[in-house]
Structure 1
Amino acid sequence: MPDTILTNIQQELNLKKLELSALLEITRAINDNLPESALYKIYRFTLLAQLQISRLTLFVHDEEWECKVCYGTEQDFTKQVIPEQIQALTEITRTSKMLVDKKWRAFEIIIPILHNGKVLAFVMIGKIQPNYHNMDALNFVQTVSNIMLVAIENHKMARQRLAQESIRREIEIAREVQSMLFPKSLPNNKDVSIHASYIPHSSIGGDYYDFIEIDQDQFLFCVADVSGKGVPASLLMSNFQAGLRTILRQTSDLNTVVSELNHLIYRNAIAEKFITTFLALYNRQTRELTYVNAGHNAPILLHESGAHELLNDGCTMLGVFDVLPFMQVTKLTIPHKSVLLCYTDGLTEVFDEDEAEFGVENTIKFLQRSRYLSSRMLHLQLLREINLYNEEATLNDDITLLSCRFK
């Protein structure tokens, strides 16, 4: 056998060994689940060292074209926009056959990397060893690049799935926390009938209502709304509820209760979280209602005559200031057969096709014509009313209703 043939066979064998070594390097890095940046470094080292390529640039399409690897060139290609002529390539092409700017001629060959008919990247190589001018070698570079890029894409998809699973679990936890916050039962006796409805905009929201017996004569009820959604909102609301019940064991003075709650939320809230709330203390014997409205939507007190009051007095929302800048605790005597409706802003902030808000006025009109309905039907009909207000509308926020019918 002539020496030249033996030399060629030996060179081809050496090339195959290098290619196999390169493939093993990349495969090992992928199996080790290394981060994307580490994979690119190993990829660069493998092609430069094992395959003896001395000039290399890799452009990857990740929403837009981005240079991930740049080595052996005078030009910094990380700051260059890949030409449209190159973007149009689907086959291995020599730059000598292309009408591209001189700087792109630093590379001899451009290798498109495709997956499922889609171009993922372009490998540009220059100063190639003689053995790498044959098509088999270039196809191997294409194969190695494809394996690595598809692996990176799969890692991204796996991370997205993990993130989605984490969000799903977060929502489950938040839903569990929220369900534990709502009272298990509400009174319906000779003095009052309290009914509540909660309609979430999504799986978990920041609305909350509560009913707490203070003694045989007094009870407290409240409606609240935390800024934000998800676990942070539900945890802050859990903090609010725990704080409220702890403070009420010491005192039922609303001035103190609200001030202490504000301090608690201010210390525990994060990233611009705050709470609006309406808290009311009712005495069954004296029929006296004492309330504080902390930046919340004004509850509507409807008298038997059809006249109404909006319960606005109180303070700012809780958690914004370390010390509340002002406070007003209001007391009023509740006439017989009055109805108080507390709600969150998801009720009134529904808009019709002309962008007109359902608002407080429409809520008052509804109460005036529907006040003799049972508490349950009152809520159902009110929710139906806002759905009819704009049948095309989707709820932008949670809706919480709490009505108290004073007998």
Structure 2
Amino acid sequence: MPTPQAMSPEKKLFLRERELNALLEITQAINHDPTEDALYKIFQFTLLGQLNIRRLVLYVKEEGEWACMVSFGSDLSDFRRIPLPEAISNNCTNTPCPVPALNLRAEWQNLETVIPVVNNGEVLAYVLIGNVQADYVSDEATKFLETLSNILIGAIQNRRLARQRIESAAMRKEIEIAQEVQTMLFPRQLPNDVGVAVSASYVPHTAIGGDYYDVVNIDANRFLFCVADVSGKGVPASLLMSNFQAGLRTLLRQQADLSTVVSELNNLIYRNAVSEKFITAFFGIYNRSTRELQYVSAGHNAAILLPDSGPHQLLSEGTTMLGIFEDLPFLHVQSLTVPPRSLLLTYTDGLTEVFNTAGEEYGEEGVIAFLGNARYLPLKVLHQEVLKEIEAFNENGNSFADDVTILSCRFK
């Protein structure tokens, strides 16, 4: 490393002029709003052209990890592939360090000084320089390099923060729109008449869940009810559910039978789903005048039917998950007569996939046991009580691992 010598006033003035030019180039580049990569290149060319620094390596902390962003000069290794040594990060935390004193490997020996770039007591970057002209090795000069680097790193951080704010605002808007869409998917009114009462509850795990339920009147006697669960969460799941609902309601307006409804929805999801998404669903069509219930379980949790007397019945037959196959490999529409004063409970797997501290799952058996004691409660109260029970059972308290949707029908 060259030894600093006393500079003449002319040399000192010349050096200050070059420093000002370097500072001007960097600030002009920042004001012209180039990309981060362009800023690093301008930084490199500024130090090379204005300050005659022939070798430079710049490490910047990126998400808690050190990354080499600039590496130029003759006889230098590609430091973008070389991790920052702990000898630098542990020892150079405040003032410049001479490279020979750090006992680094051979590839570091063409560099002479490590300059930490510090802000509020935290090292944001390391500037390593080598082959520097004799006039540019004073403490004052290295301090200017630190200042120049601080301006660059600060500008880049400000850009990232601004970009993150914009991205966060866009994300919040997306979530807000998706929440509105999801809210609009749920029916405003549920049947409650002399023949049947229906109630539904929805507890999302995240801001935008992947569950869906619907009840649609087909004619004066018949209505369809559905509970569905999209793989995944967030905006894509919400959009897929909106397509699902639009398809379902269009098919019902066309008086399609249940077999056609399920087949066409499978085709719709297969064509529109991305990232290997699929939907499980339970569909039921109830006829008040005949008490006939037609149903299809598409890879979904079995609905639980409890007659007024006798054992419960699991409604699990139908077909596979929707959206996996272009054509469903099989489809069986089941039909049964619902006895008076029966209760039907449909739900998504967030209700059953809850575990206690011993690792035991609440499961389908837990739901059936609960219904055995609470089946005659008003439907809304029944939902509240089963949610309280799984909260108490859940080792994570009231934080569920998935959305919970419950739709129940009391047949009078």
TM-score scaled to structure 1, two decimals?
A: 0.94
Counterpart-to-counterpart distance in 2, 1:98 and 1:270:
53
Structure 1 position 121, deviation (Å):
1.9
Structure 1 position 67, deviation (Å):
1.9
Counterpart-to-counterpart distance in 2, 1:371 and 1:99:
76
Q: How many residues align?
A: 401
SS of residue paired to 1:345: coil
Which residue number corresponds to residue 4 of structure 1? none
| Structure-to-structure mapping, 1:3-402, within 5 angstroms | 8-62=8-62, 63-76=64-77, 77-87=79-89, 88-89=91-92, 90-390=94-394, 392-393=396-397, 394-402=399-407
Cα contact 1:291–1:330 (8 A) shared by 2: yes
Change (3 A) 1:406 1:114: same
Cα contact 2:174–2:235 (8 A) shared by 1: yes
Change (3 A) 1:100 1:285: closer
Change (3 A) 1:306 1:384: farther
SS of residue paired to 2:187: coil
Counterpart-to-counterpart distance in 2, 1:145 and 1:57:
12
Which residue number corresponds to residue 408 of structure 2? 403
Residue identity opposite 1:322 in structure 2: E
Counterpart-to-counterpart distance in 1, 2:103 and 2:370:
74
Change (3 A) 1:129 1:309: same
Residue identity opposite 1:174 in structure 2: A
Which residue number corresponds to residue 3 of structure 2? none
Structure 1 position 104, deviation (Å):
2.2
Structure 1 position 98, deviation (Å):
4.6
Residue identity opposite 2:319 in structure 1: C
Change (3 A) 1:172 1:53: same
Q: Which runs of 4+ in 1 moved over 4 A?
A: none
Counterpart-to-counterpart distance in 2, 1:246 and 1:98:
73
Counterpart-to-counterpart distance in 2, 1:312 and 1:304:
20
Change (3 A) 1:287 1:83: closer
Structure 1 position 170, deviation (Å):
1.9
The alignment yields a C-alpha RMSD, in angstroms, of 1.6
SS of residue paired to 1:305: coil
Change (3 A) 1:49 1:183: same
Counterpart-to-counterpart distance in 2, 1:200 and 1:53:
58
Q: Residue by residue, what CA displacement relative to the aligned partner does 1:62-102 show, whole Å, maximum 9, x if unpaired?
A: 23222211111313123333333332113123335553344
Cα contact 2:357–2:395 (8 A) shared by 1: no
Counterpart-to-counterpart distance in 2, 1:358 and 1:373:
21
TM-score scaled to structure 2, two decimals?
A: 0.93
SS of residue paired to 2:294: strand
Counterpart-to-counterpart distance in 2, 1:98 and 1:319:
60
Counterpart-to-counterpart distance in 1, 2:74 and 2:115:
17
Counterpart-to-counterpart distance in 2, 1:207 and 1:402:
12
390-399 vs 345-354, greater mean Cα deviation: 390-399
Counterpart-to-counterpart distance in 1, 2:82 and 2:182:
52
Cα contact 2:355–2:395 (8 A) shared by 1: no
In structure 2, list runs of 5 or more residues that go unmatched. 1-6
Structure 1 position 270, deviation (Å):
0.6
Cα contact 1:115–1:150 (8 A) shared by 2: no
